[in-house]
Structure 1
C-alpha cells in the first residue's frame, strides 16, 4: 500500500521573482544533497543556502520530501531526455542501440554520481508513493518496449522477467562501477563488456 506523503507543490511559480526563488531552492537542495548527503537535507538548511526565509520555502513545498521528489523528478527527466531518443530510434540495429544506451547511461551515472548516491539513500520514503512509482514505471516501460523489439522472438515469452533482469543488472552494474569514479575509457570498456554479455544472452539483433 502506497504511503501518504504530501509531495505536491503548494504553489506553481509563475512570475519571474517566484521562478527565481524556486530555482534557488532547488539549486540549494541539490547542492546540500550532493555535498552533505541526506543527513544535512533539511528545510531550514536549504532555505539558508538558497538565501530565502523559511516561509518562502513552505510557500512552495509542504515539506522537504516534496522538494526531494522535485529534485528527483528533474534529475530523472534530464536522464530520460538523453536516453529516450536512443531506445526509440528507428531501425533494426538493436545491438548498436543497446550499446549506445548503456554507454550513455554509464556516463550519466558517472556525471551525477554524488547526487545519485544521495538520492538513492534519501528517496527511501518516496519509494512508497504513487508519484515516485510513476517515475520508475516510465523508465521501465521505455526499456520494455525496446527489449520487446530487440530480443530474439523466443525470448519474449518471459518478457517481464527478462526486462526486470536487464534493468536490475544494468543499474546495479552502473552504480557499482561509477561509485569508484573510474576514467571515461574504463567506464566505456565496462559498459561495452556488459553490452556484449546481454547481446549474446538475449540474441539481440544487429
Structure 2
C-alpha cells in the first residue's frame, strides 16, 4: 500500500467509489471559528471506528465524477475541472449543512487531495490544517479523524520547497500539532525544528 493511500484513510482511497466505500488554484480555506454544529454526525461503526455517512444521493454522481479525475493516469484538464466542481459542491454543502458537517469536511479533504495532485503542497497543507480544525471542533483533538487530518497537513507541508513559505506555513501548523499530536510528537518536533530551531 502506498504512502498516499495510508494518509487518506479513513475517508478511503480516492477512486470513483471513494464515497460509497465509507457507506486553477483552490481558494485558500479560512481558519475562522466554526459556527454551525455538526448535523446528524457519523456513528460508531465496526471495531469502534467511526462510520462516515455517504453524501446525499443527489450528489453522489457529482462526487464520483470528481474523485474519478483523481485516479491515475491524471489528466490535468480533467483535474482542473474536478477542482472547480469540488469548490461548487463545497459551497453547496456549506450552505445546506454548515461548515462542521461531515459532508462539508469530506469535500474539503477532497479539495486538499486535489491540490496535492495539482502540485500545490502549500494549498493542500492549508486545506488539511483547516479540516483538522473542523474535526477537532466536532470530535475533539484525540479523535482518529482529527489526527488523520493533522497527519495529512504535515505530509503536504514536507513537500513545500520555498523556505519562506515553508516557515510561514510551519508557523500555522505548529500550534495545531501541539494541540492534536502533543508537544513531543515526531510531527510537532519536525515542524518545530524549522519554525523554532533554537527551541
TM over 0.5: no
**Which structure features the higher share of helix residues?**
1
Task: Using CA pairs under 8 Å that are at least 6 residues apart, name the structure with larger relative contact order, 1 or 2.
Answer: 1
